[in-house]
Structure 1
Amino acid sequence: MEMYQTEEQQVEALKRWWQENSTSAITGVVLGTALIMGYNAWREHQQHMSEQASGYYQQMVKAMDAKQTESADRLSERIIQEYGSTAYGAFARLAQAKLKVDAGDAPAARRMLEGLLASSAEDKYKHVARLRLGQVLLESNDAKAALDLVEQQAKAGGFASYERNYELLKGDIYSALNRPTDALAAYQAAQRLGAASALLEMKLDELGGNQGPAHP
């Protein structure tokens, strides 16, 4: 390291450094400030979008509860178009799919759910969409397609928190395909994973394999 004998030498060295590096130093400060300001502006914009989307989503839920289907459909479409990048975009797609199912339009519901599967980056939304799509396919008498959908996810893995839901769906699919042994195994697996309902008890009773509560 260069040593300076006097204060004057130190001052001269500092002047030389500033002459050589002032432009890059100023540029770095300006760039750093711009990045911070840009990030803060982006955060504020995202927060504003989320608040707006939340307001429209609450209106949509109220419309659905009041059976105001057309209003709910318009609101869900607006959320998807304007706030599709937020979590509310995924919620709106799921809600819109339900509206289509309730209206008896299974093909439209299928398109909505397939769109969410293709566009969402969040696994939790994909799992919900996949489970609902499987149910839509099953109710459309396409149990084979529903089974293919579930088996594809089983091969991919990564669905521990939704496993019992997949097992319940598999049980319904196997029942529709007249595969009672497989259906029973799936329902029992769901029960071991903590699934419990009067409907599940009834399905197990019908198949002769009720194991009782998973947890005493």
Structure 2
Amino acid sequence: MSDHLTEEEQLENLKRLWKEYGTTVIASVVVATAGYFGWNYWQDAEQQRLENASNRYEELVTAVGSANAPQADDAEASKATVSHLSEQIKSTASDSAYAVQGAFFAAKKAVESGDLTAAEGELQWVLANADSEAMKEVARIRLARVLAAKGDFSAALNQVSSEPAAGFAAEQAEVRGDILRQNGDSAAALTAYEKALESLTGDQQQRRMVLQMKIDNTKPASSEEPSA
């Protein structure tokens, strides 16, 4: 009899606990289940999004390759195709490396077709959206050249006047020298070229030769004449 009453008491305790906590348990199970399926859905959607971006990027690379072929003579159509594919990637995967590389390709095609404003826009997009400091530095250097080509030397120099990302000191100084020389400031250009030469690291003999040639061509004529 004692055992039977104990079972009834246990049953009553279970009923009381279910009444008090049953709703919470069910809610927890529902939340956990929804979270599990929601996470899986998000992962599937994310994978599909990046796969679509990858496919568009492959199309873009193919379009760029076709445009560089000897038989391709419609530069404007090529630029439009590359720009369209780049915009598709940006609209769906702006946080991906595909979008950044696509913008670089679009900027290159825009420069080749003479549309410096479009090239500037693409490079500004990279600066605003790229996560990598190296990619941002590449964008700044290319943007500086585009702005200089547009005649906006002040804005161009602003792009290459701050502390460069690691590994870009020589390239930044060289571009600054090119812009200064283009703007008629040979003395400042010479200083920039010399800094670029000093900043080179490793075995870069060809670049050293190019920079030395720029230094020699920028020096005042009198400084190259032997003293009497």
TM-score normalised to structure 1 length:
0.75
Q: How does 1:43-192 map to 2 (within 5 A)?
A: 43-67=43-67, 69=78, 70-151=80-161, 153-154=162-163, 159-176=165-182, 177-178=185-186, 179-192=188-201
Cα separation, 1, equivalents of 2:134 and 2:16: 58
* SS of residue in 2 equivalent to 1:66: helix
Cα separation, 2, equivalents of 1:127 and 1:141: 21
Q: Cα deviation per residue 1:47-100 (whole Å; 9 max; x = unaligned)?
A: 111111111211111111111614333322332334434332222211111110
Uncovered stretches (5+) of structure 1, i.e. residues with no partner: 1-5, 209-216
Distance 1:189 1:11, change over 3 A: farther
User: 1:196 — aligned with what?
Assistant: 204
Cα separation, 1, equivalents of 2:145 and 2:203: 17
Cα separation, 2, equivalents of 1:59 and 1:124: 25
Cα separation, 2, equivalents of 1:25 and 1:113: 54
Distance 1:204 1:13, change over 3 A: farther
Distance 1:139 1:84, change over 3 A: same
* SS of residue in 2 equivalent to 1:160: coil
Give the AA of the match of 1:168: E
Return the offset for 1:106: 0.9
Once superposed, which parts of structure 1, at least 4 consecutive aligned residues long, lie more than 6 Å away? 6-11
Matched-pair contact (CA < 8 Å) for 1:170–1:186 = no
Quote the sequence identity (%).
31
Distance 1:180 1:91, change over 3 A: closer
Distance 1:38 1:204, change over 3 A: same
Distance 1:41 1:12, change over 3 A: same
Cα separation, 1, equivalents of 2:148 and 2:45: 41
Q: Cα deviation per residue 1:134-192 (whole Å; 9 max; x = unaligned)?
A: 121233333321221222x42xx7x2244443333334334434214421343124314
Cα separation, 2, equivalents of 1:102 and 1:37: 48
User: 2:22 — aligned with what?
Assistant: 22
Uncovered stretches (5+) of structure 2, i.e. residues with no partner: 1-5, 73-77, 217-228
Distance 1:100 1:13, change over 3 A: same
Give the AA of the match of 2:48: H
* SS of residue in 2 equivalent to 1:32: helix
Give the AA of the match of 2:172: Y
Q: Report the count of equivalent residues.
A: 198
Matched-pair contact (CA < 8 Å) for 2:95–2:129 = no
* SS of residue in 1 equivalent to 2:200: helix
TM-score normalised to structure 2 length:
0.72
Distance 1:120 1:205, change over 3 A: closer
